[in-house]
Structure 1
Amino acid sequence: MSTATARYAGHLRTEATHVASGTTVLFDAPVDNHGRGEAFSPTDLVSTALGTCMMTIMGIVAERHALNLTGVSFDVTKRMAAEPRRIAEIEIEFRLPGSVPTEKRALLERAARTCPVALSLNPEIKQTVQFTYEG
């Protein structure tokens, strides 16, 4: 069974549907590449997928160690290269609760850096990840 299906809607817009859940996601070409930029571009979604994968793997590890990561958030910045047009760098800034014990922080950070998306991306894509513990 397919993971997703997609259709071209015209005007540089694509709609993808997750087969198992029926959830849909819209994609637009970015403004700097002839698009409207009214939805995620494919490279925006790749960058965001890296952050959400890292967060998910940290959540799995946190549950094993009875840590509460509710409210963890991140900002992601994607930098493109011109020739060839591709993702050059993904920068992610995580904000975690200061209540995470100091001795567990390296465990969470290592888990994030070894998530399946991080390990699947081309090694030429620079992954800059920062962890800030607040509160």
Structure 2
Amino acid sequence: MPTIKSSYEGNLRTKMVHLQSGNEVITDAPLDNNGKGEAFSPTDLVAAALGSCMVTIMGIVANRDGIDLQGLSWEITKIMQSDPRKIAEVIVTFHWENPQGTPSFHQKLKNAARTCPVALSLHPDIKQTVMFNF
């Protein structure tokens, strides 16, 4: 059974619907690749998926240990390569204003992030730079 149903909306825009929830995601080609840049590009979604997956797995670990990740935030920087056009690097920078837990727990979170399913699924040529500010 499909997970996502997608359609081409014209003008380099796509629409995807998550069938279980009905949530929609729109993509546009970026400005530097003939698009309007009015929404996430497909490669933006790849980069965003890495950060989101990392935090989801960190959240599972934190819940298991009874720790609240409140205040955790992150930024994604996607670096494109031009020839061939592809993602060269994704930089994920985590910030946690009032980190809870011990240094060993923090290391457990870092290990969990680096081994999330998206991190393990990306091609090894895509450099994953992850910084933890906690």
The interval holding the TM-score normalised by the smaller chain is over 0.9
Q: In structure 2, what is the Cα distance between the partners aligned to 1:63 and 1:25?
A: 28
Q: In structure 1, what is the Cα distance between the partners aligned to 2:4 and 2:99?
A: 38
- Worse-matched range after superposition: 17-26 or 89-98: 89-98
SS in 1 for 2:38: coil
Q: In structure 1, what is the Cα distance between the partners aligned to 2:73 and 2:45?
A: 16
SS in 1 for 2:21: coil
Q: Is the 8 A contact 2:69 2:100 kept in 1?
A: no
Amino acid at match of 1:122: H
Question: TM-score, with normalisation over the residues of structure 2?
Answer: 0.97
Q: CA deviation at 1:103?
A: 2.0
Partner of 1:45: 45
Q: CA deviation at 1:68?
A: 0.7
- Worse-matched range after superposition: 95-104 or 69-78: 95-104
Partner of 1:100: 101
Pairwise CA RMSD = 0.8
Partner of 2:24: 24
Q: In structure 2, what is the Cα distance between the partners aligned to 1:100 and 1:39?
A: 37
Q: In structure 1, what is the Cα distance between the partners aligned to 2:77 and 2:10?
A: 27
Q: In structure 2, what is the Cα distance between the partners aligned to 1:88 and 1:100?
A: 34
Amino acid at match of 2:123: N
Question: TM-score, with normalisation over the residues of structure 1?
Answer: 0.96
Q: CA deviation at 1:102?
A: 1.5
Structure 1, gaps ≥5 residues long: none
Partner of 1:89: 89
Q: CA deviation at 1:72?
A: 1.1
Q: In structure 1, what is the Cα distance between the partners aligned to 2:60 and 2:71?
A: 15
Amino acid at match of 1:63: N
Amino acid at match of 1:98: P
- CA displacement, residues 29-75 of structure 1 (integer Å, 9 cap, x when unaligned): 00000000000000000000000000000000001111110231100
Q: Is the 8 A contact 2:67 2:100 kept in 1?
A: no
Q: In structure 2, what is the Cα distance between the partners aligned to 1:132 and 1:34?
A: 36
Q: In structure 2, what is the Cα distance between the partners aligned to 1:3 and 1:92?
A: 27
